[in-house]
Structure 1
Amino acid sequence: MCGRFALGIPRKRLLERFELAEVPQAPARYNIAPGQLVESVVQTPERREMRLLKWGLIPSWAKDTSIGYKMINARAETVAEKPSFKAAMRRRRCLIPAQGFYEWHEENGHRQPWFITSRTPEDVLALAGIWEHYESPEGEIIESVAIITCQANELVSPLHDRMPVIVAPQDDARWLDPQKGDPAQVADILASRPWSDMWAYRVSTRVNSPKNEDAGLIEPLNSLS
């Protein structure tokens, strides 16, 4: 699964990576957790734009918005068929900018967090997502998102059996295109693949609490720790 990630990259890199006209100013984030608002790139009829979507997808037919806490991830293998996700997969795909993501691994009797990121510090990862528009009977509107996961590749599999789908730049336009409503047209993007320019390293257990939010969370632990 993907339950925590970071985005502490200069804003100009988001403009470049996603070919956006503008990116609102926002603080660096190093401990983004489910239930929070996350920046997401969507395709509108006019252009691409950055939106804030609540992490935890709420289907349009939901009777209780708390369902979103169970829907932070969607499996690549079933996202096109599962009732909660299939409409969004066809019409509302998005890209979620990230600097890297965290996974936890059992080591010496405790859960040790690891950070998986690019070897190039300012590289922007694009996580595959789907988003949904929900309106309650009282008129409350919530736009929410789920991150799609696939089978872990060789880098991540020692830590966890799943990982977020990372979309290559050349696939951005096809993934975002609402005209490609047949999931088969983008199915190859969801396949697990090696990423030779990425690495994983242990980080502080301070990341375990979403209340902690600073750049030190993504610093590699000393080899003696």
Structure 2
Amino acid sequence: MCGRYASTKAPTDLAEEFTAVDAVSEKAGEERRPDYNVAPTRDVIAVVQRHPRDAEGNADPDTTERSLRLVRWGLVPFWAKDPSAGARMINARSETAAEKPAFRKALAARRCLLPADGWYEWQRRAATKDHKASKQPYFTHYADGGSLAMAGLWEFWRPKEGELLEKYPDGLVTATVLTTGAVGPLAQVHDRMPLVLPRDAWDAWLDPDTDAKADSVQAWLRPPSEELVASLEIVPVSDRVNSVKNNSADLLTPLDPAQVEEPIQLDLLG
């Protein structure tokens, strides 16, 4: 699964990297701070592609626009009574998303990318006579420093009446990260991983007119290639990342292997 990740690049830089319009800076009106410990229910940057609308709200069917948007991490289905459901839907399994009521419509027409520097995962270690049960956090990222494009789904939710309507008069745009089976050395840390899409998948994935059943979309709903995995680096990091209160650059600093009990076989990568 993916329950924590880092997103530290400025929207202007992400807009250039993903060939998108920076609607995040335009809306926020201020510089967005780096987030080294992105946690569920926070606002995160998503890359979406939609048909632009005119002043009357009519969509132009002949063109699409790719842009960066702020969404809340944790998908709230359109039929949910309140937004609390989102905290339980930060991830969606790529193998079954098309069958789940909460995700199937979003998979069909509201796919997105969630840019990340990398994601955190915890390797569980059983208790032994010499050591207590523990969890060692690892950070996985592209070795060349490029942004990961995690496949996601987004949804719009708006309350119908009452206090929630007063609290969310414009509704909420929320998103979930698709996950898949971990590949190669990644499986030594956890059996699941975010569905990371290579650059040549972005256009088909984001195209709102491409149905989820199309081969061009189905081809990417599976574990990443060995080539992509070989371009990743997995490093053990401090357990300070365990607390969402900690949010600084040192969370990404690799630990000395001597500090890690039974480290994974990093030499298997690449």
Same fold (TM over 0.5): yes
SS in 2 for 1:156: helix
Q: Which residue of 2 aligns with 1:96?
A: 114
TM-score (norm 1): 0.95
User: Aligned partners of 2:104, 2:97: CA distance in 1, in Å?
Assistant: 6
Select the residue among 172, 176, 191 that pairs with 2:222.
191
* Paired position in structure 2 for 1:211: 245
C-alpha separation between the residues in 2 aligned to 1:150 and 1:224? Answer: 31
Larger relative contact order (Cα-Cα within 8 Å, sequence gap ≥ 6): 1
Task: Kindly indicate whether the alpha-carbon contact (under 8 Å) linking 2:10 and 2:32 is maintained by their aligned counterparts in 1.
Answer: no
- 8 Å CA contact 1:155, 1:199 repeated in 2: no
1:5: how far off?
0.3
Q: Which residue of 2 aligns with 1:33?
A: 39
What pairs up with 1:19-98 in 2 under 5 angstroms? 19-22=19-22, 24=25, 25-46=31-52, 47-98=65-116
Q: Letter of the aligned partner of 2:210 in structure 1?
A: K
- 1:150 and 1:72 mapped to 2: Cα distance? 14
Aligned residue number for residue 134 of structure 1 = 157
Structure with the higher helix share, 1 or 2: 2
Alpha-carbon offset, residue 15 of structure 1: 2.3
Displacement of 1:17 after TM fit? Answer: 2.1
- Report the 3-state secondary structure (helix = DSSP H, G, I; strand = E; otherwise coil) of the residue aligned with 1:69: helix
Q: Which amino acid aligns with 1:113?
A: P
Range with greater deviation from structure 2 (41-50 or 86-95): 41-50
Counterpart code for 1:130 = L
1:163 to 171, 193, 206: 193
Alignment-mate amino acid for residue 150 of structure 2: L
Letter in 1 for 2:206: L
- 1:114 aligned onto 2:120: no
Q: In structure 2, how many angstroms separate the alpha carbons of the residues matched to 1:96 and 1:210?
A: 19
Amino acid at match of 1:170: D
Distance 2:141 2:13 in 1: 15
Amino-acid identity (%):
40
Deviations 1:86-123 (A, max 9, x none): 000011000000000000012452111000011112x0
Give me the whole-angstrom Cα distance separating, in 1, the residues matched to 2:173 and 2:148: 22
The answer to whether the Cα contact below 8 Å between 1:91 and 1:181 also exists between their aligned partners in 2 is yes
Are the counterparts in 1 of residues 44 and 71 from structure 2 also a CA contact under 8 Å?
yes
Give the 3-state SS of the residue equivalent to 2:16 in structure 1. Answer: helix
Query: Which one has the largest radius of gyration?
Result: 2
Please, what TM-score do these two structures have when normalized by structure 2? 0.79
Q: CA deviation at 1:14?
A: 1.2
Residue 2 of structure 2 corresponds to which residue in structure 1?
Answer: 2
User: Matches of 2:8 and 2:184 in 1, distance apart?
Assistant: 26
Given the alignment, which residue of 147, 152, 161 partners 1:124?
147
Displacement of 1:11: 4.5
Secondary structure of residue in 1 paired with 2:188: coil
Structural RMSD (CA): 1.4
SS for the counterpart of 1:224 is helix
Within 1, Cα distance between the matches of 2:42 and 2:21?
A: 25
Contact preservation (8 Å) 2:212, 2:218:
no
The answer as to whether partners of 1:80 and 1:183 remain within 8 angstroms in 2 is no
Cα pair 1:89 1:183 within 8 Å, conserved: no
C-alpha distance after superposition, 1:133-175 (max 9, x if no partner): 0000233211100000001011310011110001111111100
The structure that is strand-richer by fraction is 1
